[in-house]
Structures are given as structure tokens and as C-alpha cells.
Amino acid sequence: MRARGAASAGTPSAAPQRAGSRRPGAGPPGWAGAVPRARRPRAGLAGARLPVAAAQPRGCVSAWCSASRLLCPAPLRTRGRAMVILHAGLCPGLTAEMIQLLKANGIQTVVDFISSDLEEVAQKCSLSYKALVAVRRVLLAQFSAFPINGADLYEELKSSMAILSTGSKSLDKLLDSGLYTGEVLELMGAPGSGKTQVCLSIAASVSHSLKQNVLFIDSTGGFTASRLLQLVQSRTEEEEEQVEALQRIQVAHVFDIYKMLAALQELRHCMSQQVVCSVGPVKLLVVDSVSAVVCPLLGGRQSEGLALMMQLARELKTLAREFGLATVVTNHVTRDSSSGHLKPALGRSWSFVPSTRVLLESSQGAWGKASTQRIASLRKSPRQPTGIQVELDIGGYEALEERPGASGEEL
């Protein structure tokens, strides 16, 4: 059943898939897709999981057009890659020696190369003009946006989108069945509201129950291996299964935005090149938290901080869309000076990043004692009316009861 107060948000824009048990021969190890459904039932998705199928996500067709549009035969398809650094293996013909000469003349990125006068570059770098033209053609084909009609987009979405259960029935109801691949979910709340605990629980559930690889980026030092082990042990008593579940969760500790961007770009490189690296074929990306590395750069006249925040936003969204990742990020909250209501940190510029936003708040225990119960409120969703609430017990991360809430204005 849907959460009380939920209503259909109109005709579904796509037919998502449900991730469940893996069928033999249904894709590479560690990946579970799902059978596409032509229409999502209005009554909800409580019930048995569907068998899985190998649905390989295809490339995202959306793009940001760069300032080099007038110099290119087609708009540059950055797909979050406008800042891609030239490196050996990026395309055929781009050798390490050529890259060294290009960088010596100030050509560092794909955009730099595409927008340069190749005749002038050939003279300055003592390189073959024909070789440079050949590389330019390959890069344009690789990074340019091509039009696609709505029917093809719909079919692509059906074949690439899946729904991953969070491990909590109530939270799944709040999110309209679970985490959607290709989208970003933001958990926001004050310190101690349970954001990290929910992230750990989701990671444990996706790793153990769905057999998916998880990348957990910790920027606050809140990741606790012992707590993660407890969450896995609560799901299975088999030691072998516990070890396998823990091995599917990779952890990166980053404490500034530069290292976070580097970690995301490394993930992109590994998944796009399909090379063997420390991070396997990831299906869930958790970032706890974005505000911890962004907030110190904002305020005053620090325009560079805003630019870095937007670059991080672009990386998260395009990684999710391009590689079919379910992405969960955490954010702090501030209090609106006029209304007194809680609102997410990072301002309006960040508001477009999450597709879904959930506010976690503490529930006061008896006689004012601390409680493990938390109230999760839906503040932004493309599918559900906002204002719906559920209760969660973060002590054991068991969903308790659903609380009705009226539709409210999105933060």
C-alpha cells in the first residue's frame, strides 16, 4: 500500500524495474537489473520481487552546451565531463607524448582541445595537423550530443531504471517503492537526526539482500565498521554471507571537496572504461555528507566555492543518470529566519540536485529521554505529494508506523 495521503502523481513518465534475485546469465556478477514493466500498479508494489534481467544502462542524452558551440559542428556533450582531463587512452591516437606537448601549451581538457585552432596547435607543439584533426573528430563523436525522440527516451528509461529496496517497508512506501536508479535522494536533518544510521542501513540492505556493490563516501568520520557489521548480522547469521556483504561495500574517506571530486571522477573512469579497480560495478552511491565539504567554501565573496559546489552537483547527477546509479546524499538543515521552519542547507543553487528530499527529525521519548524513533517527512518528490510522514526506529532500523500528513509546500 502507498503511504496514507499519497496520491497518483499522474501518468508515470517511465516504467521502472524492481531489483531482486539474480537470474543465471542475467548480466555481469554483482549486477542485478530487473524486468521492465509497462505500467506501475496504482495500488503499490507490496509483494513478491520480480525476476531480474540484464538491462545495461545506456548513455545519457542530456547535455550542457559549452561556450565552444560556435567552434564545433555539434554542441559539446559534457554529460558532466566538461572538465575531463586529457589522458592517454581517452581516445585512439591520443598518446602520452601528445598529451605532454598539449599540456605544455595550456591545453588541459577536452574543451580546451576542441576549441583550439588546430593549425596553431600543430605549429606550437610540433605535431601532425592530420593527427590532431583525427583526434578532434573522435572526441567530437564521443562527447557531442545527438537528438533522440521521446519514444526512444521512454524505451531507454524502461530498460535502464530499477528500484532498489531500502530494507524498510515504511521508508520504501515514503519513496514510492524504494530508491530509483538514475536519481539522487537527499536525507536532510540536524546533527543526531539519524542520517548516517539510515545510510548505513540502506548500504547493508542493498549489499546483502540485493547483492549489489556500494560505494560509501564518508566526509564526516561518521562511518563505523562495527555498526555496519551489526546491521549485516541482523540480516543473516551465516558468516560467509556476512563477509560477502561487507566485501561489496567500498568505503572512501574524504574530508575536502577536491578529494570528493577526485573519488567521483575515479568512479566514473572505472565504470566508463570497465577496468578492474578497487570499486566494482557500483549500483548504490552514498555520500555522507555533501554539506560537510561544501559549507566551508561558501559565504562572503567566495565565488570559487559556489563553482565547486555546482561541479559536485553535476558529477553526482550525471553519474547517477549515465551509469544507472541510485545515489543517496546527506545534508544539514538551517532554520528559516522568517518562518522558523527547517530548510536544507546549501541554498537554492543546490535545490535542483536531489529528485527526492526527506527530512529526518528526532521523536521525543517519554519524560524527555532520548529516543531511537525518528520521523521521516517527504519534502520533495516527483511521484508523491509532499508532507507524508513515517516513523523509523534507527536503533534497529525497523519501520514502525505510518503517520498521515497533509500535502505541503516543497522546500
Q: What is the CATH number of the domain that holds 306?
A: 3.40.50.300
Give yes or no: residues 283 and 337 share one domain. Answer: yes
Give yes or no: residues 136 and 168 share one domain. Answer: no
Q: How many domains does the chain have?
A: 2
User: Does 15 reside within a domain?
Assistant: no
Give yes or no: residues 135 and 268 share one domain. Answer: no
For residue 115, the enclosing domain spans 96-143
- pLDDT reported for residue 365: 54
Report the alpha-carbon distance of residue 29 to residue 58 in Å, rounded. 18
Q: Under 8 Å CB-to-CB from 296, ≥6 apart: which residues?
A: 305
pLDDT (tens place) for every residue of the chain, 411 residues total: 444 444 444 444 444 555 544 443 344 333 443 333 333 433 333 333 333 333 333 333 233 333 233 233 334 444 444 467 888 888 888 898 999 999 999 998 888 898 899 999 999 999 999 999 999 999 888 887 778 888 988 888 888 889 999 999 999 999 999 999 999 999 999 998 999 999 999 999 999 999 999 999 999 999 999 999 999 999 999 999 999 999 999 999 999 999 999 999 999 888 887 665 555 689 999 999 899 999 888 876 667 888 899 999 999 999 999 899 999 999 999 988 888 788 999 988 899 999 999 999 987 654 455 678 899 999 999 999 999 999 998 875 443 334 444 333 333
Give yes or no: residues 267 and 350 share one domain. Answer: yes
User: Does 183 reside within a domain?
Assistant: yes
Do residues 227 and 191 make contact, with C-beta atoms less than 8 angstroms apart? no
Give yes or no: residues 282 and 257 share one domain. Answer: yes
Do residues 160 and 57 make contact, with C-beta atoms less than 8 angstroms apart? yes
Terminal CA-CA length for the chain = 26
Q: How far lies 51's CA from each of 1, 42, 224, in Å?
A: 21, 20, 33
Give yes or no: residues 134 and 216 share one domain. Answer: no
Q: Which amino acid is at 64?
A: W
